[in-house]
Structure 1
Amino acid sequence: MKIAILGTRGIPANYGGFETFAEELSSRLVQHGHSVVVYGRTNNIRYEGTCYKGVRLVLLPTISHKYFDTVAHTFLSACHVLFQDVDVVLICNAANSVFSFLPRLAGKKTVVNVDGLERNRQKWNALGKAYYRLSERLSTFLPNAIVTDAKTIQAYYQDRYGKRSYFIPYGADSSRLESRDCLDRLGLEPEGYFLYVSRLEPENNALLAVQAFERVATDKKLVIVGDAPYARDYIARLRSTSDPRILFPGAIYGAGYRELQSHAFCYIHATEVGGTHPALIEAMGCGRCVLYLDTPENREAAGDAAIAFTKSPEALAEKISAVLADPGLRADCQRRAVERIGKRYRWEDVTAEYERLFRELLGNKAQSQPSDDRARLPSDASAQEGLPNDHQAALKSESLGSAGRRR
């Protein structure tokens, strides 16, 4: 098959989850014999080649502004791909749904990976939130199909819009990186630090992690990895801490990121908006003990393989102290984490499900039937399968217009 991936900043990944997703999926699709092109932004990608890991790269300009960066680039990409020899166009981010009809004009099958409920991010003003809400609705009929990477989000689209979606989760590796180059540069010792990784935006709660750690008596450090192009005031507030144990090395990708994940004493996951968060399952795949903010999406990914905390510095500080005091608790979480990722979040399985979906859309149904229920279009009854009862009730409430209250 000939496949194009739009809607990300491009590869090699150097920003966030969608970029890592594009790199991991596209490179594996190439290994499986498909032809893949990934569109990237000239204001983000510094890689000078036209091909990366066998994936063809197309870089196009955009408008470097919080409200226009994504949609301006995706519009240009959708126009460009109209004239390319591709069978399937995969568009990332529900905000780009408005352009998903364009490739269809040229007879190409179009899929949108909607991610989470992005309109709940604090960085968006009322107009931005309204655009995301409109984009959610557009995603239910403009593309040929939509993909959700968490069952909680799948159930939301089913309940609110009556839209059936393909559930295909994000992927993670179940392996450690034993090298320590990044640790050496930062002056860190293996298992001598707690790790937090995310874009440094308010709803990702890095400040909560900082405030919690300040309350804990330990010689270990807290490493806050990440950055954000439109959150300078928030980042300045984070860095104003007087605790010398807390480090801010900025954004780290590739081998350095994997080294930090592999050697952390514990990983803190505090995000509250989105579907399946890459850093959460990547930390679990590395066999790390994980403390996670208790939201339906995070709970779905972590299962019984991690430790939940409520949204307060005191609650997180209590959990940090617990894993410091109980080696057995930490070891049990590490073992369960690796087992869970190996069963549910393997990149090879994710790639196979996308292949099945693309083939089904192209009419090759004999080759496209899923091996399990993950990628099938769910019946109304099964859309909420596997969700906790309290979240099923919350989804009912949200469908009546109360989406913001469960965050």
Structure 2
Amino acid sequence: MKLKVAIIGTRGIPNYYGGFEHIAEYVSAGLVNKGYSVTVYNSHNHPYQADDWHGVKIVHCFDPEYLVGSSGQFVYDLCCLLDARKRDFDVILLMGYTSSSVWGRLYPKKSVTINNMDGLEWKRAKYSMPVQRFLRYAEKLAVKYSQYFISDSLVIRSYLKDKYNVDSRYIPYGADLFSDVERKSATNAVPDKDYFLLMARMEPENNIEVILDGFNNSTSDKKFKVLGSTDSRFGKFITHKFRNDERIQFEGANFDNSVVRALQNNSYLYFHGHSVGGTNPSLLEAMASEALIAAHNNPFNKSVLNSDAFYFDDSSDVRRLVETVRREDNERKMIQNNLHKIQFLFNWEKVINEYENFILECYNNQRNEVIANHRR
């Protein structure tokens, strides 16, 4: 049976933004290759304007975020859900809940609803206390109105079980191993191992200031490349604060995956400061790109990296790492161990198969329940 699956809750594919768009891109194309009919909802002002992407159907819905700010996400999600109600999707995969769960009563009743629960959004420092309270409420609504759940982190799965007594299926993100072609290209494109690297959205909980403070106070003569848009208020603050350190290079956002992977592969040490959320795709990409990693010391990162990374809590830890880390046998073993994780735990083929299996399981469970109720 060719199931009809819709993916709602992202800005759209191909990915020009972040994590959920990243996984929507891979999973949608992967399911199409397996014979599923897949529709992804895109913002009407997404750079990709065609109605088909590698066999995935694209529906463009009105998104006023560019006019009214973040509140426009609620309108966008509402438009997507109202459109989905007119169609006969077997399964709807909701990516996150921040701006969609308030419309929970409008989730299409005839579709099986699976929610890929976001990270602990209410912990993000960028949000005010009223917004954090709302996000806690939105999380509760997501649990109330969704039928099945996915966690991209073991930490999130435990949280949902402890907080709501909800069972969720753990399915992480994936990444592709660094190929020989990419290796050759990286060698030619980027200077080798003479810089540190950080790649993240310019947000406080990504510990960008902590990392750059540590580097700023170090005696290193290497460069520090920072990838990520600095257009936000925090981004402008960061660039202003470190404007006098000529070693720190703010290079803006870059969605050319080949360039990003080359930069990761050739970095001396890759800093990953994310402290909120699940399994972060940029971390997996760094692992797959054979980067040596220094990560913020928290359960999310440690559940992925285990002992195959350096960890930091504050700027003094960062300074110590910048000044003392050497790329020797033990460090090379850490890189190989992380490659092994990508190959056997976080590869896209495995992730897509797990999505397919869970979608089929949820659909069959729901169908059997309907049949049982009808017989009563």
Q: Which whole-Å CA distance do the structure 1 matches of 2:89 and 2:330 have between them?
A: 50
Mark the CA change 1:175 to 1:42 in structure 2 (over 3 Å): closer, same or farther.
same
| Kept in 2: contact 1:41–1:62 (CA 8 A) | yes
CA offset digits 1:30-65 (Å, max 9, x no partner): 11111111111124x112322112211112122324
Q: Which whole-Å CA distance do the structure 1 matches of 2:226 and 2:86 have between them?
A: 43
| Kept in 2: contact 1:7–1:70 (CA 8 A) | no
Matched with 2:107 is 103
Counterpart amino acid of residue 127 in structure 2? W
Q: 2:48 matched to 1:50? A: no
Mark the CA change 1:330 to 1:252 in structure 2 (over 3 Å): closer, same or farther.
same
Kindly report which structure 2 residues correspond to 1:229-240, keeping only aligned pairs within 5 A, or say none: 231-240=232-241
Q: Is the partner of 1:15 in helix, strand or coil? A: coil
Q: Which whole-Å CA distance do the structure 1 matches of 2:82 and 2:10 have between them?
A: 15
CA offset digits 1:238-264 (Å, max 9, x no partner): 344112121111111132222222322
Mark the CA change 1:183 to 1:138 in structure 2 (over 3 Å): closer, same or farther.
farther
Once the two structures are TM-superposed, the CA of residue 321 in structure 1 deviates from its matched residue by: 2.4
| Kept in 2: contact 1:182–1:256 (CA 8 A) | no
CA offset digits 1:255-314 (Å, max 9, x no partner): 22222223222210011111111111111111111100011111101112212111x111
**Count of residues in correspondence between the two structures:** 358
Matched with 2:85 is 82
Mark the CA change 1:272 to 1:190 in structure 2 (over 3 Å): closer, same or farther.
same
Q: 2:192 matched to 1:178? A: no
Q: Which whole-Å CA distance do the structure 2 matches of 1:203 and 1:6 have between them?
A: 26
Q: Is the partner of 1:261 in helix, strand or coil? A: helix
Kindly report which structure 2 residues correspond to 1:8-407, keeping only aligned pairs within 5 A, or say none: 8-43=10-45, 45-64=46-65, 65-95=68-98, 96-105=100-109, 107-176=110-179, 177-178=182-183, 180=185, 184=189, 188-227=190-229, 231-241=232-242, 242-253=244-255, 254-310=257-313, 312-323=314-325, 325-363=326-364
Mark the CA change 1:180 to 1:247 in structure 2 (over 3 Å): closer, same or farther.
farther
Q: Is the partner of 1:12 in helix, strand or coil? A: coil
Alignment TM-score, normalising by the size of structure 2: 0.89
Matched with 1:381 is none
Counterpart amino acid of residue 131 in structure 2? G
Once the two structures are TM-superposed, the CA of residue 93 in structure 1 deviates from its matched residue by: 1.2
Mark the CA change 1:320 to 1:136 in structure 2 (over 3 Å): closer, same or farther.
same
Q: Which whole-Å CA distance do the structure 2 matches of 1:76 and 1:228 have between them?
A: 30
CA offset digits 1:334-387 (Å, max 9, x no partner): 11110122221111111111111111122179xxxxxxxxxxxxxxxxxxxxxx
Matched with 2:8 is 6
Q: Is the partner of 1:84 in helix, strand or coil? A: coil
CA offset digits 1:186-243 (Å, max 9, x no partner): xx402222111111111111111211112333332211111266x3244333344112
Q: Is the partner of 1:4 in helix, strand or coil? A: strand
Once the two structures are TM-superposed, the CA of residue 66 in structure 1 deviates from its matched residue by: 4.3
| Kept in 2: contact 1:288–1:337 (CA 8 A) | no
Once the two structures are TM-superposed, the CA of residue 71 in structure 1 deviates from its matched residue by: 2.2
Mark the CA change 1:52 to 1:238 in structure 2 (over 3 Å): closer, same or farther.
same
Once the two structures are TM-superposed, the CA of residue 180 in structure 1 deviates from its matched residue by: 4.5
Q: Which whole-Å CA distance do the structure 2 matches of 1:33 and 1:169 have between them?
A: 23
Q: Which whole-Å CA distance do the structure 2 matches of 1:60 and 1:179 have between them?
A: 41
Mark the CA change 1:195 to 1:76 in structure 2 (over 3 Å): closer, same or farther.
same
Q: Which whole-Å CA distance do the structure 1 matches of 2:247 and 2:63 have between them?
A: 39
Q: Which whole-Å CA distance do the structure 2 matches of 1:344 and 1:86 have between them?
A: 30
- 254-263 vs 272-281, greater mean Cα deviation: 254-263
Alignment TM-score, normalising by the size of structure 1: 0.83
Once the two structures are TM-superposed, the CA of residue 9 in structure 1 deviates from its matched residue by: 0.9
CA offset digits 1:85-140 (Å, max 9, x no partner): 321111111212233443332x0111111121001112222221122101111222
Q: Which whole-Å CA distance do the structure 1 matches of 2:239 and 2:209 have between them?
A: 6
Q: Which whole-Å CA distance do the structure 2 matches of 1:87 and 1:41 have between them?
A: 22
Q: Which whole-Å CA distance do the structure 1 matches of 2:113 and 2:87 have between them?
A: 14
Mark the CA change 1:100 to 1:345 in structure 2 (over 3 Å): closer, same or farther.
farther
Matched with 1:369 is none
Q: Which whole-Å CA distance do the structure 1 matches of 2:236 and 2:95 have between them?
A: 27
Q: Which whole-Å CA distance do the structure 1 matches of 2:78 and 2:129 have between them?
A: 22
| Kept in 2: contact 1:2–1:35 (CA 8 A) | yes
Structure 2 gaps, min length 5: 367-376
| Kept in 1: contact 2:156–2:278 (CA 8 A) | yes
CA offset digits 1:127-169 (Å, max 9, x no partner): 2112210111122221111111111111111111111111111
Counterpart amino acid of residue 3 in structure 1? V
